[in-house]
Structure formats: structure tokens, C-alpha cells
Copies of this chain bind each other. A is one copy, B any other.
């Protein structure tokens, strides 16, 4: 059990479902900024439960991130206990907050069930799993309301790049009328690599080796990842009910180095653009290959970077972007949501 801290710092216990590179990065970040966030935000996060498919950890009293990292080190990188079924872990952990970081499953059914179980157990929830937000938005919102709980999902669109926080606290009073964004880093990288003369297959192989490509490459290459993010944005910001399955999407398969080069020679850049527009009859969303002029604000979003232009009625067009997108930025998205839910100052 973690040593107690000053009485003006509140302990908040976390239950983590899924524990890959982002989970490890989150632990390291929590360890590194423990003092800073205790002082700035009046809160300390303890880990009460973690589970993956194969191994797990449970201590309802909670231990610090540093302590759990120590256990991982002595366990040769592995969690110390057996895997626990997620709903059992949620109940047994007695945690204050669920972090849903399991693998994306189309439909989002399983992860939605985890979040509902957390709400029912009196916990708030942070998800970086896109499934429940892209496919089960209305159900999640209703469940949160019924149980009087809160949920956040900043990391589902573009890591810790401010989107939902931004609209909520920096664009108060504005109506969001639409958006255009580059929201999948892997496809953005591949299109750039084609421009450098790489073949499509070589570029894809590189992103696979680098660990950027989803286990099922179709999720990235055929725009499913982008469509998920569009559905999340549209459900959340345009007040509609849409799933990724409703969104027309192109694929970047078949794009040739010649096509990218021809665009470049004409002062344009081929981008995999996610667009959403609100209109009287509803909402239009699409994932398309589009040539943007090099002077377009999204044309400067390179490599793994992501960017989004929000169209608003009172503030015109506002651009937000992250220039790096690594597991660190995803881990920060979780930390930002944890703090949005529990910071006391």
C-alpha cells in the first residue's frame, strides 16, 4: 500500500483494462509527475487493478505507479498476478476511475460493457478505446446519466491533442458547424513516404515494423480508423447519432508514388481527409483522398502529426494540432482526462 500523502492531496484509485505500451508509458508519466500534479492539482493517482488477457494485478488499497513499475521490473516486465475478468476486476478493485484501454473491436460492445460496469460500481471512466464512443455513444451517454457518472474520451481522436476539452472550455458559446482533419497518422505517413519515392508496399511494411500499423492493416489503410474518429467527433460535437459504418470512406490502397509526385509538382499535397458538416437535414461525414494546396493549414501536418480544423459560428475556423504522435501523447491523453475528472485545483 502506498504511503499516505498530505491531507490536501487526494488519492484517486485507478483500474486499468488493457496494458500495452500506452499503459506502461502512462505509469512512467504518473511516476515522473507525481509531485507536480499533487502540488498543482491536489491529486495522486494510485493503481488498484490492472488486467490484460494473460496477466493481472489487484490491490484494492492501491499502490503508486513507481511501486507497480518496480514490480514489473522484478517480474521481467510482466504483471505479478493472473489475468482477472474485467468485470470482476472492476468490482474487486474498489477503484474510483476506470481506464478502458483494451483493443478496438468493431461495434465496441465489450468495452461498452466494461464502462457500464464501472458506472454501475460508482466509478467514472476514461476510454482511449474508440469502440464505445464511435459505435455506442448514445448508450454510453445514457448510462453515465442514469448512474450520475462522468466519462471522457479525449484520447480516442488524436491522443492528447485538445479537441473535446477545447470545445468545452475554450470555445464556450460557439456552435460547431463542421470540421476537417488529418486524423490517422499511419496513412499520413505512408502518403508522405510515397512522395519521397517509396513504393506503397515498402511504406506499409515500414509502418508495420515501426509498430504504427494496426494488427489488421485494413483498419488504417481502408479508413476505418479515420471513420471511427469522425463518428466520435460527429456524435460528440454535431449532436448526431452516427456510427463508423454509416460513413463513406475511400482507401489509400492503390495510391501510387506517381500520383503523390504529380500533386506535389502542382504545389499540392495528397491527404487522407476526414470531414464532417452539419446542415439542416443532418450531418454529412466522409473520409476522402484530397489534394490540398501547400498553403492549406493542414498541409503542414506531417509524419505522425495530426490536425483538426473546427468550423465555428462565433470564432471562425480554429486549428488544433499535435506535431508528434507517439505512445507518450496517448498516455498524456489519459492523464489529461484523469485530471479533467479529478483535479481539485
Are A301 and B297 within 8 A (Cβ)?
yes
- A317–B36 Cα distance when bound, in Å, is 20
Closest to A319 in B: B321
Is B302 in contact with A300, judged by CB distance below 8 angstroms?
no
| A336 → chain B closest CB, angstroms | 6
Instruction: Select one of B170, B172, B302, B309 contacting A41, CB under 8 A.
Output: B172
Interface-central residue, A36, A173, A314, by most chain B CB under 10 Å:
A173
Interface residues of A in 135-177 (CB under 8 A from B): 160-162, 165-166, 168-175
Docked pose: A199 CA to B297 CA in angstroms: 26
A312-344 interface bits toward B, Cβ cutoff 8 Å, 1 = contact, 0 = none = 001111111111101011001001100110010
A33 in contact (CB, < 8 A):
yes
Is there a chain B Cβ closer than 8 Å to A4's Cβ?
no
- Shortest Cβ distance from A267 into B: residue: B294
By a CB distance below 8 angstroms, the chain B residues around A298 are 300
Cross-chain contact B295 with A307 (CB below 8 angstroms): no
Asked if A209 is an interface residue, CB under 8 A from chain B, the answer is no
A78 on interface, CB distance cutoff 8 Å: no
Question: Mask for A60-85, Cβ within 8 A of B = 1, else 0?
Answer: 00000000000000000000000000
Query: In the complex, A173 Cα to B173 Cα: how many Å?
Result: 26
Q: Is A120 an interface residue (CB 8 A)?
A: no
- Taking CB atoms and an 8 Å cut-off, the chain A residues in 287-311 that contact chain B are 294-302, 305, 307, 309
Inter-chain CA distance A62–B172, complex, in Å, is: 23
**A37 sits at the interface (CB 8 A):** yes
Residues of A within 8 A of B (CB): 29, 33, 36-37, 40-41, 160-162, 165-166, 168-175, 294-302, 305, 307, 309, 314-324, 326, 328-329, 332, 335-336, 339-340, 343
Can you pick out 23 interface pairs between chain A and chain B where the beta carbons lie within 8 Å of each other?
A33-B173, A40-B172, A161-B315, A161-B318, A162-B318, A165-B169, A165-B170, A166-B170, A169-B169, A169-B170, A295-B300, A295-B302, A297-B301, A297-B321, A300-B300, A307-B319, A309-B323, A315-B322, A315-B332, A315-B336, A316-B326, A319-B322, A320-B320
